[in-house]
Structure 1
Amino acid sequence: MTKPSVSFVPSASPRRKAGEVHSLLEALISKREQEISEIEQMVERYERRLRLEEQAYRSMSTLRRMLTGKKPDHHLALEYIHYVKKPMEKARTLRLEIANYREMLNGSIPTELPEMLV
């Protein structure tokens, strides 16, 4: 009897795999940093708009202020949660994710990429 020939296809070298993982981690870090900057710009635009609205309201005459009124406090609180608090929580989680990726790059923790990225 003859042994069946098994063709062995060498996988990519460990150095190449490490380089691919390294470049993937760098790309993920830059993408997450860009997301964080977009979130911070959105929050800044909201706060600027809020300051301008407050300034416009204060510059109105007393009669006009009584007719227009202000947004109720609970509306302002909901806007704050929607436009500031939740986005900043997301930015915080993205910063933690970036720190985790940087630790992977430095080799202090093993490189295990999320399954959705592989």
Structure 2
Amino acid sequence: MTEPWVSNSTTAAPRRKTAEVHSLLEALISKREQEITDIEQMVERYERRIRFEEQAYRSMSTLRRMLTGKKPDHHLAVEYIHYVKKPMEKVRSLRLEVSNYQAMLEGTVPAVIPEILS
């Protein structure tokens, strides 16, 4: 009659460990999704600012436009790489990471916890 008590304790440990891994994966997914949202908002703010600057430049008088000048194209290209291209590459890698974590949650991929978290 005491056997069920022993078998319950041996099966409870793997369930608890699975629940811990499950909650850890859910926390990682939510953290990565928040990072993605933050990066996308930063890119959107940059693009909005650039549109505003371009609109303000076009609305200037010809004389004022000649005196003010415009950023050289290569400066704009470097800004684009820094504020849009690199962050969007980071977003793509984060989305791949999230999809991998979701596959782990579903059980289609074995759950391997990153070495950083171990």
Q: TM-score, normalised by structure 2?
A: 0.89
* Partner Cα distance (1:60, 1:111) in 2: 58
How far residue 16 of structure 1 moved from its aligned partner, in angstroms, is: 0.3
Give structure 2 stretches of 5+ with no counterpart.
1-9
Amino acid at match of 2:95: R
Q: CA RMSD in A?
A: 1.0
* Partner Cα distance (2:116, 2:53) in 1: 43
How far residue 115 of structure 1 moved from its aligned partner, in angstroms, is: 1.0
How far residue 18 of structure 1 moved from its aligned partner, in angstroms, is: 0.3
Q: Per-residue CA shift, 1:24-70, capped at 9, x if unaligned?
A: 00000000000000000000000000000000000000000000110
How far residue 94 of structure 1 moved from its aligned partner, in angstroms, is: 0.2
* Count of residue pairs brought into register by the alignment: 108
Correspondence list, 1:55-66, <5 A: 55-66=55-66
What secondary structure is seen at the aligned counterpart in 2 of 1:13? Answer: helix
Give structure 1 stretches of 5+ with no counterpart.
1-9
* Partner Cα distance (2:25, 2:115) in 1: 14
* Partner Cα distance (1:33, 1:115) in 2: 20
Of all paired residues, the percent bearing the same amino acid is 79
Structure 2 partner of 1:31: 31
* Partner Cα distance (1:80, 1:98) in 2: 26
Amino acid at match of 1:77: A
Q: TM-score, normalised by structure 1?
A: 0.89
Task: Report runs of 4+ in structure 1 exceeding 2 Å deviation.
Answer: none
Larger proportion of helix:
2
* Partner Cα distance (1:116, 1:32) in 2: 15
Correspondence list, 1:27-106, <5 A: 27-106=27-106
What secondary structure is seen at the aligned counterpart in 2 of 1:111? Answer: coil
* Partner Cα distance (1:31, 1:62) in 2: 49
